[in-house]
Amino acid sequence: MSTGKVENFEVVVDGGTLTGLRVRGTTGDGANRPLVLAVHGGTYTSRYFDIEGHSLLQRAADQGFDVIAVDRPGYGGSTQLPDAPDLIQKNAEYLVPRIPALLEDFGTSAPVFMIGHSIGGAVVISMAALQPAWTLVGIAVSGVGLKTPPESAEAYAQFPQVYFVDLPAPMKDQVMFGPAETRGAGMPEASHVANTHCPLNELLDITGGWQDRVRDIAARVRVPVHARMGEHEALWITTPDLVDDFGRAFSSAGTVSSDIVRDAGHCIDFHRCGGAFQDDQLAFALKSASADVA
């Protein structure tokens, strides 16, 4: 594939399929950078990371990173998993052994830095806690934490008991974005091309079981961690104490940076501060890969 051009991929591995987007860095020195593996949240496909004007893939490629944004199981063309109450953990257990096949198909053996948003952030933390055999140098997560408002679980419990649910765009926009003055150009409408269904048990898990096991999982992560919450986060309780406590949960990680991003809602990438936020994640990736995180 050519450098700087985002392309679709489909990889068949172990009887299942993984799809998504990928791009090669444009500066020619990708060997000095980890590959960025981006993992989307619930109700979005991998396209979340390639919205025009807010594309992590293009921003990272322009800085010399190779990037793979994978569709999680049940999203895009990726194989659906059997239903389970701990679907976040099942995502992690499914993806970890299949990452080498994605790297091989991309023609690289580079170390990996994972970026995860929302439920994808929980999946990334769970993947890191499994301590994969492939080289993982660090993770960056956003829109995931320790405690959700109780009304979220109550609302999801009222949904019909089906595998997939569809959240109407106006409902999503209310909780994914901060005030109008904080949003990126054309938002929230520009983000709608990434909208899709979501396994109901992912929503029930993130507002239930995930919160029971997150501290144990975080304690097993042994790579540097960058964690961010938007100031106007609607899906998590983001008091300073809880944000700090989330960082402390990564007790084996060594280097941890946990903070709040001002003037942003849940989907930090799509706000006016999104570019600076992504730059911060990529700078952390470089430092993690060089084992020189300040």
* Residue ranges per structural domain of the chain: 7-289
Long-range own/partner contacts, residues 78-83 (CB < 8 A, 24 or more apart): 78/16, 78/17, 78/18, 78/19, 78/20, 79/16, 79/17, 79/18, 80/163, 83/163, 83/199, 83/201
Cis check: omega of the bond before 188, within 30 degrees of 0 = yes
Task: Enter the tokens of residue 286.
Answer: 């470089």
Amino acid letter, 221: V
The string of pLDDT tens digits covering residues 72-83 is 999 999 999 999
Look-up: residue for tokens 């950078």?
Answer: 33
Greater pLDDT, 82 or 31:
82
Residue 221 CA to residue 219 CA, distance in Å, equals: 6
pLDDT mean over 141-155: 94
Half-sphere exposure of residue 269: CA atoms within 13 angstroms, side-chain side: 30
What pLDDT is recorded for position 32?
A: 77
pLDDT at 240 over 60: yes
Whole-structure pTM value: 0.96
What pLDDT is recorded for position 293?
A: 45
pLDDT mean over 244-261: 96
Report how far apart, in Å, the C-alpha atoms of 187 and of each of 125, 161, 263 are. Answer: 28, 31, 14
What pLDDT is recorded for position 264?
A: 98
Residues 6+ apart with CB under 8 A from 252: 219, 220, 221, 222
pLDDT at 2 over 70: no
Sort 257 into a burial class: Cβ within 10 Å, 0-12 / 13-18 / 19+: middle
- Tell me what the pLDDT averaged over the chain comes to: 95
What pLDDT is recorded for position 3?
A: 73
The string of pLDDT tens digits covering residues 45-92 is 999 999 999 999 999 999 999 999 999 999 999 999 999 999 999 999
What pLDDT is recorded for position 294?
A: 43
pLDDT mean over 177-199: 95
pLDDT mean over 147-159: 90
Greater pLDDT, 146 or 31:
146
CATH class in words for 7-289: alpha beta
What pLDDT is recorded for position 280?
A: 98
What pLDDT is recorded for position 19?
A: 98
pLDDT at 28 over 80: no
Question: Which residues on adjacent β-strands are paired with residue 39?
Answer: 70, 116
The string of pLDDT tens digits covering residues 126-142 is 999 999 999 999 999 99
